[in-house]
Amino acid sequence: MLYTQAPKATRTWVDCPQPRPDASVKLICLPHAGASPRAFYPWVDDLPESVELMPVCLAGRAGRMDEPLAESIEKIVAPLARAVSPLIEGRVVFFGHSLGALLAVELVFELRRRGLRLPQLLVVSGRMVPGAERRLKVHTLPDRHLVREVQRIYGGIPREILVEPAMLKRTLPILRADLSVNETYEPAHQERPLECSLLALGGTDDPHVTGTELEMWRDQTTAHFDCAQFQGGHFYLSSPEGQRWVIARIMRAIEAVSA
């Protein structure tokens, strides 16, 4: 189904900054904690015309500012599965970084439980396999301490937000809710390996996910698997070079699973 023909619920959950009706691949991207669909907008210029970018928009941000923030993964995955399912036909790729990787894999599990079509390729970045994460409790901290700890542990809050009190005030509730989703997550089911291909990516200097831990994703699929790292920390993909590398790895993986 073309994005422009998708139901309203689908277009509420899924953004499309540059519709490409002739594209042969749909790239559905799930954001890291605190991010909106705009985090992926710079990808448009580096993606080939054959790929249509579709970043997910969670409640409480962008065009959904008036909706209550979700603080648990259950409140996201079930309605998101219903929303994205009309788009899953032909070649579809899910990509998620950090919290987005967790949302992406749980979304695939939810689609499978509902007997719906799955993406051809799942790409996870900056994340350990579900259930193996180190437990942190940052989301309960007071605002000032939360910002300090997020920057210390992960980095990634843009400087323009940190130095602008009004922007920081708007961002903090979103960040706190997303951290709650991340930090209260417990695998609800003992899932068998996925049937779709899987690509695991990360930064060489990411203290949260080592190369060995990225390799653990191999056991999460019965299909094609690949794993790679790029120079950098947890937000290695934030640089133009990191962004282009991620896109190149995704395109290579699409070619491999389509051969």
Please report whether residue 110 resides in a domain.
yes
Please report whether residue 158 resides in a domain.
no
For residue 156, give the nearest of 199, 229, 208 by alpha carbon. 208
Half-sphere exposure of 3 (CA within 13 A, CB side): 25
Helices 165-183 and 143-153: crossing angle in degrees, nearest 10, is 70
What global pTM score does this model have?
Answer: 0.93
Question: Which domain covers residue 22, as residue numbers?
Answer: 3-131+187-258
Most confident by average pLDDT, 69-73, 123-127, 178-182: 123-127
For residue 40, give the nearest of 9, 65, 16 by alpha carbon. 16
Q: Find the catalytic residue in 98, 125, 197, 238.
A: 98
Q: How far apart are the first and last CA of the chain?
A: 23
Rounded CA gap, 97 and 101, in Å? 5
Q: Find the catalytic residue in 97, 139, 208, 234.
A: 234
pLDDT higher than threshold 80 for residue 133:
no
Active site residue 98: yes
Q: How confident is residue 259, by pLDDT bands cut at 50, 70 and 90?
A: low
Please report whether residue 142 resides in a domain.
no
Output the six-digit token pair for 165. 């009190």
Phi, psi at 32, each rounded to 5°: -75, 175
Please report whether residue 176 resides in a domain.
no
Q: How confident is residue 9, by pLDDT bands cut at 50, 70 and 90?
A: confident
Q: Is beta strand 225-230 parallel, antiparallel or unpaired with respect to 197-203?
A: parallel
Residue range 156-169: mean pLDDT, rounded: 85
Please report whether residue 252 resides in a domain.
yes
Task: Say which CATH number the domain at 73 has.
Answer: 3.40.50.1820
Please report whether residue 29 resides in a domain.
yes
Output the six-digit token pair for 145. 């301490």
Is residue 101 classed as helix, strand or coil in its secondary structure? helix
Please report whether residue 82 resides in a domain.
yes
Count of structural domains within the chain: 1
Please report whether residue 30 resides in a domain.
yes
